[in-house]
Amino acid sequence: MPHYDLLIRGGDIVLPWGIERLDVAARDGRIAAIGVGADATAGQVFDAAGLHVLPGLIDPHVHLRDPGDPAIESIPTGTRAAVLGGLCAVFDMPNTDPAIADTTRLEWKREYVERVAWCDMGLYVAGTKGNIPALADLELERGVCAIKIFAGSSTSSLLIEDDEHLGRAMRAGRRRIAYHSEDEYRLIARKPMFKLGDPYASHMEWRDEECAFLGTRRLMALARRTGRPAHILHVSTAQELDYLKDFRDLATAEVLVNHLTQWAPDVYEKLGGFGVMNPPIRGRRHYEAAWAAVRDGTVDTIGSDHAPHARADKLKPWPDCPAGLPGVQTLVPLMLDHVNAGRLSLGRMVDLMCAGPARVYGAVGKGRIAAGYDADFTLVDMKHRRRIEDRWIATPAGWTPFDGVEVTGWPMATIIRGHVAMRDDEVLGAPQGRLVRFG
Ligand code: DOR
Ligand code: ZN
């Protein structure tokens, strides 16, 4: 009679080949069996009747601000928020204070993550003009999901804006580089057109469509010349989504849940500075294009770009209000709501949030429910209705741009390598996050 550590009974399992009602079993943190006899026993049996069992959902784009200001966010609080939001792993950006751009800082962060994180983590390392010779080694370090390059400036001073340095960075190393793609020269040139206190919607006029499109055209020209694979983060324009179809041999693409959920001018009228992010939320045409690109397969991954800032700072007039919005705890509920609204299938959501990040970044043992893979599961109730509220946001900044939004579909449990990390809105046990392995 087989014995397991964990048995998940009676759920609808979202397998790579379809949805089947089966029992799944975990042993030693990995998936031991799919389809288990009635006689099997386990240390823990999880009754998943009425729930869908998804592979552990991944948010490949968060800014947990650590080191930085723990009153806004930190790795302990941000990964706790992630687990509450149904995520088994997050990939964390390097624009912290100080930035993660060398082995010393990376080693510090790895050791810290393995002590305090509630979910598994991948770590981006920043590419800078100063560390290009080290990038080929840095990208092979344990736990590193990718080199991240800000080709246009956003929060922090990280920046490689010129073709000369970008080309050199692309020639250093081989793995896929993740880019913030907005053309820095155009950003600088347009800034004088605006003044303090202009409407918040000026954000998308300043950082206009051409800033993003030009940034992506320049990166694709360099990627073509160097042969270096690229992942274009938070693609925000119809033009880029169309253009990238001709670069599928080199480029993968991310779209943010924000760009699939909100549009201008509504978002600025309703939220003011609490709708300001880079690249900006744009007009309805781009929202429609983002959904079309989700449906036709142009989009590989979906992220939250969780980037908390203090409430007091977001209340400042434009452009003094910093760009960035919390989202790690609301990503899964919003995406489930989109599934319920018929905008994408549950299978496509899993493709974007599990298989997609695993494929784009080369994560090992993640991204699908299959024997031998990590026993990571997000259990969701597709019928559960709930209102998103500021007051239960676990990020210390304490707000969400989706406050008051009613959604259908909710993460009921987060299971990470066989350990139930969250059940019914309660975080369980101790932090057990590990670094994700990348091939
Ligand atoms: O809106 C944004 N906020 N975009 C970025 O690129 C960075 C992020 C942050 O770190 O605040
Ligand atoms: Zn970001």
Tokens of 104: 């010393």
- Indicate whether residue 216 lines ligand 1 (CB < 6 A): no
On whether both 10 and 77 belong to a single domain, the answer is: no
Alpha-carbon gap, residue 420 to 65, rounded angstroms: 26
Q: Do 324 and 421 lie in a common domain?
A: no
Best of 63, 65, 234 for a ligand 1 pocket test (most atoms within 8 Å of beta carbon): 63
Do 302 and 195 share a domain, yes or no? yes
Structural domain contains residue 130: yes
Residues 11 and 142 in one domain: no
Contacts of 83 (CB under 8 A, 6+ apart): 118, 119, 414, 416, 421, 422, 427
Whether residue 153 has its Cβ less than 6 Å from ligand 1 = no
Output the domain CATH number for residue 74. 3.20.20.140
Does residue 97 lie in a domain region?
yes
Is 367 within a domain? no
Question: Considering the domain boundaries, does residue 437 fall inside one?
Answer: no
List 12, 66, 120, 305, catalytic entry: 305
Looking at the domain assignment, is residue 93 inside a domain? yes
Does 281 contact ligand 1 (Cβ within 6 A)? no
Residue 127 located in a structural domain: yes
Give the integer Cα–Cα distance in Å for 50 and 53.
10
Same domain? For 138 and 186 the reply is: yes
Last residue of a domain, one of 306, 326, 361: 361
Mutate to test the pocket of ligand 1, among 278, 306, 318, 395 (most ligand atoms within 8 A of CB): 278
Q: Is the CB of 72 under 6 A from ligand 1?
A: no
The proportion of the chain whose per-residue pLDDT surpasses 70, expressed as a percent, equals: 100
Which residues, 6 or more positions from 404, have their beta carbon under 8 angstroms from its beta carbon?
387, 388, 389
Q: How far is CA 142 from the centre of its chain?
A: 20
Q: Could you give the CA distance from residue 50 to residue 332 in angstroms, rounded to a whole number? A: 18
The pLDDT, as a whole number, for residue 81 is 99
Residue ranges with strand state E in 16-162: 18-27, 30-34, 41-47, 52-55, 57-62, 87-92, 120-126, 144-150
Look at residue 1 in the predicted model and tell me its pLDDT: 84
Q: SS3 for 163-231, per residue?
A: HHHHHHHHHCCCCCEEEECCCHHHHHHHHHHCCCCCCCCHHHHHCCHHHHHHHHHHHHHHHHHHCCCEE
304 close to ligand 1 (CB < 6 Angstrom): no
For ligand 1, say whether the CB of 203 is within 6 Å of any of its atoms.
Answer: no
Note whether 39 and 129 are same-domain residues: no
Same domain, 21 and 121: no
Question: For the stretch 244-253, what's the b/e string if a residue is b when 16 or more beta carbons lie within 10 angstroms of its beta carbon?
Answer: beebeebbbb
- Tell me, yes or no, whether 438 lies in a domain: no
- Counted residue by residue, the chain has a size of 439
Centre of ligand 2 to C-alpha 231, Å, is 13
- Nearest alpha carbon, ligand 1 atom 10: 155
Report whether 62 contacts 118 (CB < 8 A): no
Confirm if 422 and 414 have CB atoms less than 8 A apart. yes
Q: In the prediction, which pLDDT does 36 show?
A: 96
- Sequence-distant (6+) residues with CB within 8 A of 351 are none
- 303 Cβ contact list (under 8 Å, min separation 6): 59, 60, 61, 62, 233, 234, 254, 256, 257, 331
Ion ligand 2: residues, CB within 5 A, are: 305
Same domain, 392 and 278: no
Which residue owns the Cα nearest ligand 1 atom 7? Answer: 155
| Domain final residue, candidates 361, 384, 403 | 361
Supply the pTM of this predicted model: 0.98
H or E element at residue 6? strand 3-15
390 is catalytic: no
State whether 202 and 325 are in the same domain.
Answer: yes
In order of 25, 32, 41, 217, 373, the CA distances from 3 in angstroms are 9, 10, 5, 55, 18
* Closest C-alpha to 34, from 3, 52, 8: 8
What is the residue range of 336's domain?
Answer: 57-361
Domain boundary among 361, 390, 413: 361
Q: Which amino acid is at 380?
A: V
65 alpha carbon, closest ligand: 1
Question: Does ligand 1 come within 6 angstroms of the Cβ of 258?
Answer: no
pLDDT in tens, the chain (439 residues): 899 999 999 999 999 999 999 999 999 999 999 999 999 999 999 999 999 999 999 999 999 999 999 999 999 999 999 999 999 999 999 999 999 999 999 999 999 999 999 999 999 999 999 999 999 999 999 999 999 999 999 999 999 999 999 999 999 999 999 999 999 999 999 999 999 999 999 999 999 999 999 999 999 999 999 999 999 999 999 999 999 999 999 999 999 999 999 999 999 999 999 999 999 999 999 999 999 999 999 999 999 999 999 999 999 999 999 999 999 999 999 999 999 999 999 999 999 999 999 999 999 999 999 999 999 999 999 999 999 999 999 999 999 999 999 999 999 999 999 999 999 999 999 999 999 999 9
- Asked if the structure places residue 439 within a domain, the reply is no
Number of domains in the chain: 2
Dist. CA 64 → ligand 2 center (Å): 10
Which ligand does the CA of 273 lie closest to? 1
Same domain, residue pair 62 and 49: no
Residues 126 and 174 in one domain: yes
The tens digit of pLDDT for each residue in 38-75 reads: 999 999 999 999 999 999 999 999 999 999 999 999 99
Q: How far is the CA of 27 from the centre of ligand 2 (A)?
A: 35
Instruction: Let me know whether 278 and 148 are in one domain.
Output: yes
What CATH number corresponds to the domain at position 387? Answer: 2.30.40.10
List for the chain the helix, strand, coil content (%; round to 5).
Answer: 30, 25, 40
User: pLDDT tens digits for 140-153?
Assistant: 999 999 999 999 99
CA distance between the termini of the chain:
35
